[in-house]
C-alpha cells in the first residue's frame, strides 16, 4: 500500500517558542518605552535591596536570551513540523503577561528595583500595570485552552 506521510505537529515546542518570545518582547517594551522614551523608570533606585539587583539582572538576562532562543525555536519548528499559530500566539500572551507580572510585583514592589513613575501617586500606576499583566496572562491561557479544545475535537472525531 502506498503510505502517505505528513509532518508531525509540534505542540510543546511552539508553545514554548511563543512564551520565550513574549517574555523577551515585554522586556524590550519595558526597556524601550518605559526606560528610554518616557523615562518613567530609572536606571537605578537607591531604595533597591541588594538582592533585588541580582534578581533583576538575572530576569533581564533571561529575557534577552529568551527572545533569541524563541525566534530560533520558531524557525526550527516551521522547518520540521506543522504547528498551530493560535497556540504560538497563546504562548506569546502568556510570556508577555508573566514577565509584566513578575516585573510589577516582585521587582517593583518586593525588591524596590525602581517604581513605574516618580513624583506621582504610584497606586493607580501599580494597579494598571499589574491588571494589564493579569489580563495578558488570562488572554494567553484562554487562547491556549481553545487550542486544547480544538485538538480534543479533532482526535475525538
Partner 1 sequence: MMEHHIIHTYFPLIQTAVVILAVILAAGYMGAMVVSGSKFKSWPVSRLFLWIMGVVTAVGAFVGPIGNLAHENFIAHMAGHLMLGMLSPIFFVFSKPMTLLLRALPTEHAKTMSRLLNTSYAKVITNPFIASILNIGGLFLIYKTGLYVWMHEDILLFIIVHLHVFLAGYLFTISMIYVDVTSHRYDFWYRAVALVIALGFHKALSKLIYQSPPETVPVYEGRSGAMLMYYGGDVIDLILIVILCLHWYRVRTPKEAHRRNMVLWK
Binding site for partner 1 (CB under 8 A): 3-8, 43-44, 46, 48, 53-54, 56-62, 64-65, 68-69, 71-72, 75-76, 79-81
CB of 71 vs partner 1, minimal distance in Å: 8
At residue 82, φ and ψ (nearest 5 deg) are -90, 160
CB of 144 vs partner 1, minimal distance in Å: 23
Placement of cell 505537529 in the chain: 9
CB of 124 vs partner 1, minimal distance in Å: 27
Instruction: Locate all alpha helices (DSSP H) within 83-121, ordered by sequence.
Output: 85-102
Contacts of 72 (CB under 8 A, 6+ apart): none
Count of all residues that appear for the chain in the document: 157
The nearer residue to partner 1, 56 or 130, going by C-beta atoms, is 56
* DSSP code at position 10: P
Angle (CA) 88 137 121, round 5°? 140
The nearer residue to partner 1, 37 or 123, going by C-beta atoms, is 37
* DSSP code at position 46: T
The nearer residue to partner 1, 80 or 131, going by C-beta atoms, is 80
Alpha-carbon span 30 to 103, nearest angstrom: 9
The nearer residue to partner 1, 62 or 125, going by C-beta atoms, is 62
User: Could you tell me if 29 and 92 are in contact, meaning their C-beta atoms sit under 8 angstroms apart?
Assistant: no
CB of 99 vs partner 1, minimal distance in Å: 14
CB of 110 vs partner 1, minimal distance in Å: 16
The nearer residue to partner 1, 68 or 138, going by C-beta atoms, is 68
Amino acid at each position: 500500500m502506498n503510505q502517505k506521510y505528513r509532518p508531525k505537529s509540534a505542540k510543546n515546542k511552539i508553545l514554548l517558542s511563543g512564551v520565550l518570545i513574549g517574555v523577551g518582547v515585554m522586556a524590550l517594551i519595558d526597556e524601550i518605552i518605559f526606560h528610554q522614551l518616557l523615562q518613567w523608570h530609572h536606571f537605578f533606585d537607591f531604595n533597591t535591596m541588594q538582592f533585588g539587583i541580582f534578581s533583576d539582572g538575572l530576569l533581564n538576562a533571561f529575557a534577552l536570551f529568551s527572545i533569541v532562543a524563541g525566534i530560533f525555536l520558531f524557525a526550527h519548528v516551521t522547518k520540521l513540523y506543522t504547528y498551530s499559530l493560535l497556540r504560538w500566539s497563546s504562548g506569546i500572551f502568556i510570556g508577555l503577561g508573566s514577565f509584566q507580572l513578575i516585573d510589577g510585583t516582585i521587582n517593583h514592589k518586593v525588591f524596590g528595583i525602581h517604581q513605574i513613575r516618580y513624583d506621582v501617586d504610584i497606586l493607580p500606576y501599580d494597579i494598571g500595570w499589574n491588571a494589564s499583566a493579569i489580563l495578558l496572562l488570562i488572554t494567553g491561557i484562554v487562547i491556549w485552552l481553545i487550542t486544547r479544545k480544538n485538538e480534543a475535537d479533532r482526535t475525538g472525531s
